[in-house]
Amino acid sequence: MKASKLGLVAAAVLATLAVPAMAADVSIYGRAHLSVDHLDNGVDSGVNVSSNSSRLGFKASTKLEDDMEVFVQLEQNIRFDEGSGSFATRDSFVGLKGNFGMARIGFFDTPLKTIRSRTDMFGDRIGDARNITSGYGQSFDNRYRNGVHYRTPNMNGFTVDFQYTPHNNTGATVQNDRESYSTSLTYTSKGIYVAAAYESYEGTDGVDPNALRLGAYYDINSDLRVSALYQKASDVANGDRSVYGVGASYKMGDYTLRGQYYVAGDADADNSGANMLVLGADRKLGKDLTLYLAYGITSNDDNANYTIASGGRDTRLTAIAGENSAGLSFGVVYSF
């Protein structure tokens, strides 16, 4: 069964290995995203500097015959706040694309994780949706090692993605421990994005955590976007639970106002839910530079410890059960 699933992805790759190639097109890109934050866990507070998913990457692609293209990407996290980083810690892969679709092998976002990144109004900032979707024992929104991913061609706006990871460990394996599956159906059109995904990974003690995620955004006009996300997580630490969230952004020239609200329902324990509200404003200074100001608060029930500052950040605030978690953030994002 495992071999047949992997074979569906591998077949498209193997069929193209003998295709002649032209010269490669290579590019360097990156993002410096830093913020100064006042963080409060309900008991203590302090000022922090955080590097937030800052990155440096290299891309290369080569056109092949028969409308084929081979591509590679190497991307690493850079900690501008502490002067450190590790190579290939972000999306890094090699792949092929053509009339058959796209296939790649490496380390990258799963189809389920991608939905959150497309609908999150505060990705890598105070109030990132992952604070709720991956908080309190929910281990989703991950990259898995040794990933194999296939995407179908676009069929009237619809695409299907399937990712299989034989083992989420380093080194060789003969048992496929910690294998995972992630698949999605996506529809995109002008100003519309709708997607559904299911993900499951091998856990411990015979329990396999899994999640269903639905996400969408709609551009009401060129300035106003609304978004929504729903997640049902099962067999996860602390018990099954549901999460939902809504968001909106509105452009006014060089300014963008944005906000989002997320709710986590109770898990197995009573009074284990939370809600998160975050509001912010961006200011564009040219094509590549953005300044922003945001304030967010996560209100925890007595037995919950969701935070306001975790997802996408290198400096994270540890929440205390039953206490509110809040943050005020001034950030700068420079992309090149």
Contact 215, 187 (CB under 8 A): no
Alpha-carbon span 219 to 217, nearest angstrom: 7
Between 274 and 134, the higher pLDDT residue? 274
Q: Hey, what are 260's tokens?
A: 């989002």
Closest CA to 136 of 315, 277, 271: 271
Beta carbons within 8 Å of 227's beta carbon, 6+ residues apart: 119, 120, 121, 215, 216, 217, 218, 246, 247, 248, 260
What value does the mean pLDDT take over residues 273-299? 98
CA-to-CA separations, 169 to 1, 165, 296, in angstroms, rounded: 21, 10, 35
pLDDT computed for residue 136 by the predictor: 66
Residue 17 is predicted with a pLDDT of: 45
Other CB atoms within 10 Å distance of the CB of residue 298: 30
Quote the pLDDT of residue 160.
99
CA distances from 260 to 49, 178, 197, 229 (A): 23, 34, 21, 11
Taking all residues of the chain, what is their mean pLDDT, rounded to a whole number? 90
Say yes or no to pLDDT of 294 above 50. yes
Is residue 282 within 8 A of residue 104, CB to CB? The reply is no
pTM of the model: 0.88
Task: Give the pLDDT confidence score for residue 2 in this predicted structure.
Answer: 47
List pLDDT tens digits, range 167-189: 766 655 545 566 899 999 999 99
Task: Output the CA–CA distances (angstroms, integers) from residue 6 to 44, 60, 142, 283, in the order listed.
Answer: 50, 25, 20, 46
> Which range in 95-99, 141-145, 232-236 is most confidently predicted, on average pLDDT?
95-99
For residues 16 and 101, the model is more confident at 101
Domain boundaries, the chain: 2-335
Beta strand extents in the chain (DSSP E only):
21-40, 45-51, 55-64, 69-79, 84-86, 92-98, 101-109, 143-151, 158-165, 180-189, 192-201, 210-219, 224-234, 241-252, 255-264, 274-285, 289-300, 325-335
CA distances 240 to 30, 110, 203, 231, 321, Å, are 38, 21, 15, 11, 18
Q: Which CATH number is 2-335 given?
A: 2.40.160.10
pLDDT for the residue 195: 99
- Rounded CA-CA distance 115/214 in Å is 8
Q: What is the pLDDT of residues 3-37, one digit of tens each?
A: 444 454 445 444 444 445 556 788 999 999 999 99
**C-alpha radius of gyration, the chain, whole number:** 21
What percentage of the chain reaches a pLDDT higher than 70? Answer: 89
Residue with tokens 């501008």: 80
Least reliable range by pLDDT among 20-24, 73-77, 80-84 = 20-24
pLDDT at 233 over 70: yes
pLDDT at 137: 63
Q: What is the pLDDT of residues 31-72, one digit of tens each?
A: 999 999 999 999 999 999 999 999 999 999 999 998 999 999
Averaged pLDDT for residues 256-276: 94
Share of the chain above pLDDT 90, in %: 73
